[in-house]
Amino acid sequence: MKKLIALALVTVSISLTARAQMIVYDLTSNIQEIVSQAANIAKYIQMIENQVQQIETLTDQLDEFKHYEDLFGNPQSVALSTASSLLDDLKKTEVGQTLTTLEGSIKTSDAMLYNANGLFQSIGTTFTTPDGQIVTRPDAPFKPIAAIQKTTDNYLSVSTDAAARRKALKDQIASTTEQLKSASTDAEVQKLQGVLTGLSAALNNTDYEINQATSSALVQDIANRNDAQRQVEAQQQQQHAEFTEAIQKYGQTFRLMNAPTAFPAP
């Protein structure tokens, strides 16, 4: 308020000096005008001061953000080489197939020609009798065998793929751990820990894939054993029925004589 009064007095003094030669002078009106102008100027000065205070506040906040970034780092600027490898592994299509898919792709001829990369000897789709006749093997008995061979091959494919992936994932885990040791900001530490978690999960997933392939082979083997037992039971029932029927027919055809044999008189 003191500044406002002083400014008004100075303005009045200047105005009086400048208008000393005027014949008509309205002192009250001029003083009111000067006071109004001084009030406007004071409001403008206050507005400038408020803006300056806001700028200073924003500057302090910006300095705090920069200090925070210096301490914790900028997550966007942290680029990890192992992250892309993890994404590639996660997007990779699993080698293993479901048991339904495996059973749907069975070929009985594969069971006859199967040799497990030279481990076994194939039996062939035909054989030759001692008389020289070529006989084609029937397909039906080899279907369960082909299913087991299919699930075995599936397990071998999954285990081979898993072994290669496990080695690559372990190398990436080791590399990420080394980066974690030398991390200088909290943002880098957080990202590296996230990648380590993902790599560990991917490594565990390889075990799950192997377990699934193993389970498929075991389930198929159980199914084969169960079917074999079913066939044996069915065959025994059929043989029992056939034997009972044969005995009945034999009894009807060959009846025992229950009357004494009569011999002619001499």
List, for residues 211-249, the tens digit of each pLDDT value: 989 999 998 988 888 888 888 888 888 888 888 888 877
Q: Give Rg (Cα) of the chain.
A: 50
How far apart (Å, rounded) are the C-alpha atoms in residues 65 and 250? Answer: 106
User: Residue 128 pairs with which residues in a beta bridge?
Assistant: 134
Domain residue spans in the chain? 2-72, 79-251
pLDDT number for residue 78: 55
Beta strands 126-128 and 134-136: pairing type?
antiparallel
Token pair belonging to 246: 């044969």
Look up tokens 């389970």; give the residue: 215
Alpha-carbon gap, residue 85 to 75, rounded angstroms: 19
What's the burial of 154, exposed, middle or buried (CB within 10 Å: 0-12/13-18/19+)? buried
CA atoms within 13 A on the CB side of 259: 3
User: What is the distance between the alpha carbons of residues 199 and 179, in angstroms, rounded to a whole number?
Assistant: 14
pLDDT score, position 185: 75
Provide the pLDDT for residue 155.
92
In this prediction, residues 88-114 reach a mean pLDDT of 83
pLDDT greater than 80 at residue 186:
no
Tokens representing residue 201 in the block: 């999960």
Which of 35-44, 109-118, 164-173, 232-241 has maximum average pLDDT?
164-173
Using the predicted structure, report yes or no on whether residue 75 has a pLDDT greater than 70: no
Cα gap 108→163, rounded to integer Å: 30
At 79, is the pLDDT very low, low, confident or very high (cuts 50, 70, 90)?
Answer: low
The rounded percent of the chain whose pLDDT value lies above 70 is: 74
pLDDT in tens, 23-50: 455 667 767 777 777 777 777 778 887 7
CA nearest to 80, candidates 157, 185, 155: 185
Position 187 scores a pLDDT of 76
Q: Is residue 139 pLDDT above 80, yes or no?
A: yes
Whether the per-residue pLDDT at 1 is higher than 60: the answer is no
Instruction: Identify the pLDDT of residue 235.
Output: 81
Indicate the average pLDDT of the chain: 77
* Vertex 184 angle, CA 178 and 188, to 5°: 75
